[in-house]
Amino acid sequence: MREYCNPLDLSYKWQHYSGNAHREAADPTIVLFKGTYYLFASMSAGFYYSEDLVDWKWHENRALDMYRYAPDVRQVGDYLYFSASTRSKPSTIWRTKDPLSDDFEKVSEPFPFWDPDLFCDDDGRVYFYWGCGNVDPIWGIELDPETMLPIGEKVACIDHAEDKVGWERFNFPGKEPEASKGIMKLAMMFMNRSGRPYMEGAFMNKWNGKYYLQFAAPGTQFHVYGDGCYVSDKPLGPFTFMPNTPFSLKPGGFITGAGHGSTIDDKDGNILHVSTMRISKNQNFERRVGLFPAGLDEEGLLYCNQNFADYPVVIPDGKYDARNIRPQYFLLSYKKKAKASSSQEDHPVELALDENIRTWWAANETKAWYELDLGEKLSPHSVQINFAEHSVPELKVDKKLRSDLMTNSRYIDSDKELRTRFTLEGSLDGENWFMIEDRSRSDEDRSHPYILLNERFEVRYLRVTALELPYGEVFALSGLRVFGKGNGDLPEEVKDIRGERDLNGLDAVIRFSPSKGAFGYNIRYGIAPNKMYSSWQIYDQTELKLTTLNKGQHYYLSVDSFNENGICEGSSILEL
């Protein structure tokens, strides 16, 4: 069994530009190359690698185009090919037989492209896809596998369809209540003369003789950022819309967003999808990475299992059906009592327990503590500590270092001198404490550490003490999340589901009565009763406006209730 919790526990890199500092990793491409998984993400000055998809190590490389957006890595023969986005000059395609050697050779500079994706077919022919904007489509072209230069003319593979596909639209005020004025200004800028949202992030897979061309919309700063798909019998189309698009979508829960990703077959032949998750508070491009079990159903539809996708994910070894993966551990910390050594006026202790990564508790200093009261003695399975970037002091960088390591007025830290040092302690009475996790001497900078406890002991109180944080920032938590199994009963089943679809065919309002004992609901929906692959997780509310429906498509919907003791799966199905 392998276990992780989204967002992935990576050493997300600090970005410094335009007077702003934030962590970022986004637009991820994952590849299984010679028995090792490699994960490349935007603006990271390096990449991550893993043997098991759980324990990720960092490898810095500033020689490649690592300061660029949407890196693409794909295998062709014995080589791993790499490229990233540029607009002002022809982009470069590199290759290597060993990424960890840093020995990359330049192959070609075919033309300027943004959001690239290289694909090698079974017959050895190579195709290239790219596109990022609100006017142009997703393009495709064949490349010579030896020179990686174009063969023939480019082809428009898929185009915008926001009048028919509800998810592709920008969600403006009323549909995106969390959006800040700055984000909405950016959204309006993106729309400019076309009135269209962004289409970007192409990625191609081939299964069972079919070509699955994936893409992202409507914009990375929105909670509905997700991935859709078109299917064809040929690598350059014509392509047919996959009706359960978007197949990757996470609009609710602790952290939202599941767009601009990539899809692979793992070592056991299972399908996995990795994509961008959004915070977008300190900066619009403040983002993280999420990993989701995926699969193909009996009709060849690509789907992701994103039910409770920011709860612990336990994946069995060997071959499995992703539809059967269900949460085994539940949230024990939601809206429990807490106290801290200090709190800033607008960032009280409860904001670390509200299941929203975009809000946080903040202390007045770095060395501070935060104490959680679970309300009773429990045996937690795991703890996810989510550090928030509340206020980073202005970065002072040596001028020579800045000129050596900056591109486009951006500095990306190597994190060699950055540390996230803390302790996690437990107590039964709030007075006598024992050590659970001691990272007081850690040499790593991790903002989302996930700590397995495996029900080894009983505890009522948990205390996190920050000892050292990057740049001396104040201690802040967007989520102290404790998982396990409560001692109580499941909530009652939700039965009286009501729904009304808008005349535009793209939206629907869903209502239902509260379930006794529930603190949240998971709304599952899809194009058939046995294909409810999409989901939307909500807390403390019994009404939701779905904005991700496709015109002319029938939908079926059910609502699960949940609390810290587990999930009561809904049996009533509503047709929309």
Instruction: Report the pLDDT value the prediction gives residue 20, as an integer from 0 to 100.
Output: 73
Q: What CATH fold (topology level) applies to the domain 498-575?
A: Immunoglobulin-like (2.60.40)
Tokens 């949460």, residue? 327
Secondary structure tally for the chain: helices H, strands E: 2, 45
Measured on CA atoms in the order 396, 401, 407, 412, is the torsion positive or negative?
negative
Largest CA distance in the chain: 73
Residue 214 exposed, middle or buried by CB count within 10 Å (0-12, 13-18, 19+): buried
Other CB atoms within 10 A of residue 186 CB: 18
Whether 223 and 180 have beta carbons less than 8 Å apart is answered as no
Beta strands in 332-475 (DSSP E): 337-340, 361-362, 369-378, 382-387, 406-407, 410-412, 421-427, 433-439, 450-452, 459-468
- Which of 222, 219, 217 lies closest to 177, judged by CA? 222
Q: Estimate the share of the chain in helix, then strand, then coil, as percent rounded to the nearest 5.
A: 5, 45, 50
Tokens 């997780």, residue? 537
Alpha helices for 229-369 (secondary structure H): none
- The domain spans of the chain are 2-324, 330-484, 498-575
Residue 252 exposed, middle or buried by CB count within 10 Å (0-12, 13-18, 19+): buried
Other CB atoms within 10 A of residue 434 CB: 10
Instruction: Report the pLDDT value the prediction gives residue 394, as an integer from 0 to 100.
Output: 60
- Which of 126, 123, 222 lies closest to 172, judged by CA? 222
Q: Give dist(CA 378, CA 455) in Å, integer.
A: 9
Alpha carbon of 167 to those of 48, 51, 109, 488, 555: distances in Å? 31, 35, 35, 38, 14
Alpha carbon of 405 to those of 67, 101, 397, 409: distances in Å? 9, 20, 10, 10
Architecture of domain 2-324: 5 Propeller (2.115)
Give the N- to C-terminal CA distance of the chain in Å, as an integer: 38
Please spell the DSSP secondary structure of 366-395, one letter per residue.
Answer: SS-EEEEEEEEEE--SEEEEEE----PPPP
Buried b / exposed e over 280-319, threshold 16 CB at 10 Å, is bbbbbbbbbbbbbbbbbbeeebbbbbbbbbbbbbebeeee
Structure tokens at 12: 């997300």
Amino acid (1-letter code) at residue 530: N
Backbone angles phi, psi at 4, to 5 degrees: -155, 175
3-class SS letters over 7-64: CCCCCCEEEEECCEEEEECCCCEEEEECCEEEEECCCCCEEEEECCCCCCEEEECCCC
Say yes or no: do domains 330-484 and 498-575 share a fold.
no
Q: Give dist(CA 104, CA 493) in Å, integer.
A: 57
Pick the CATH number of 330-484 from 1.10.3720.10, 2.60.120.260, 3.90.480.20, 3.30.1300.10: 2.60.120.260
Residue 473: DSSP 8-state: P
Instruction: Report the pLDDT value the prediction gives residue 553, as an integer from 0 to 100.
Output: 98
Q: Give dist(CA 575, CA 265) in Å, integer.
A: 34
| Beta pairing class for 433-439 and 369-378 | unpaired
- The residues, any chain, with a CB within 8 Å of residue 171's CB and separated by 6 or more, are 179, 218, 222, 223, 224, 547
- Which of 194, 234, 192 lies closest to 212, judged by CA? 234
User: What distance lies between CA 441 and its chain's CA centroid?
Assistant: 29
Instruction: Report the pLDDT value the prediction gives residue 118, as an integer from 0 to 100.
Output: 98
- Which of 456, 319, 320 lies closest to 383, judged by CA? 456
Q: What angle do CA 237, 240, 241 make, to 5 degrees?
A: 135
Structure tokens at 30: 């994952």
**What stretches in the chain show pLDDT beneath 50?**
172-184, 187-193, 400-401, 404-406
Instruction: Report the pLDDT value the prediction gives residue 416, as an integer from 0 to 100.
Output: 74
